[in-house]
Amino acid sequence: MRAGLGLSFVLALATSVTGCRDEGFVQLTSIRDEVCRCKTPRCGEDAMQKVAQVQVEGTPRSRRVAREMMDCLAELYATGAPETGPDVALPESPPAP
């Protein structure tokens, strides 16, 4: 009886180590990688459209991947935005007629 219990434990451990990968999480990770490889905000937005088609459970891992994806997108927006501020010279407007 004890050998059966040991075998069950080994099988449970092997399943948890090699276990079924969450396909939704794998897809979400792939989309994150795609967004983070983008060089323009438009590319990032196009990649983000794929997220709506993915069904993934809201776990700490998936939330971390989603946060990383949003950080990459925010960085794309920041690099694509024109600089503004008190130290940036504005173009001169034409004189009024």
The answer to whether the CB of 51 falls within 8 A of the CB of 14 is: no
- Domain residue ranges of the chain, discontinuous segments joined by +: 20-80
> Is residue 9 predicted with pLDDT exceeding 80?
no
pLDDT for the residue 22: 87
Side chain identity, residue 63? R
Q: What are phi and psi of 96, to 5 degrees?
A: -70, 140
Q: Is pLDDT at 5 greater than 70 in this prediction?
A: no
pLDDT for residue 20: 52
85: phi > 0 → left, psi -120 to 50 → alpha, else beta; which? left
Per-residue pLDDT tens digits for 27-84: 999 999 999 999 999 999 999 999 999 998 999 999 999 999 999 999 999 987 666 6
Number of other residues whose CB lies within 10 A of the CB of residue 28: 21
- The CA-atom distances, in angstroms, between 43 and each of 31, 77, 97 are 12, 11, 42
